Amino acid sequence: MQLEINYYIDENKKHLREIDTLKRVRDETRTMFNDENRKLLFEAQYYKDKLDKLKTDLYEHKRKNKELERLQTLYDQLKDREDERLK
């Protein structure tokens, strides 16, 4: 009878160690995934910010280009008028 009790006590200790190990692995995995997710979120945000900056720069370049085209058109019109006037 005592042997059976000792056996069950030993088995219980083994199961408790396995449970502790599984809990530790679960916690480490959760932490790892949280760190990885956090890293991925930071990288995604970095590239999103970079993309937004590039879009803003592109918008500014387009706006400046339109302004230059408008000024070039005005200059050409004035030059044509001046040429007609001088003829």
Query: Token pair for residue 39?
Result: 């890293």
The residue whose two tokens read 């009878």 is 1
User: Quick check: is 40 in a domain?
Assistant: no
Q: Which domain holds residue 65?
A: 46-87
Which residue from 59, 34, 33, 43 is spatially nearest to 67, judged by alpha carbons?
59
Pairwise pLDDT comparison (28 vs 19), residue with the higher score: 19
d(CA 71, CA 9): 92
SS3 of 87, please? coil
User: Quick check: is 79 in a domain?
Assistant: yes
57 DSSP assignment: H
Say what the pLDDT of residue 35 is.
67
Structural domain total, the chain: 1
pTM tops 0.75:
no
1 DSSP assignment: -
User: Quick check: is 16 in a domain?
Assistant: no
Pairwise pLDDT comparison (43 vs 56), residue with the higher score: 56
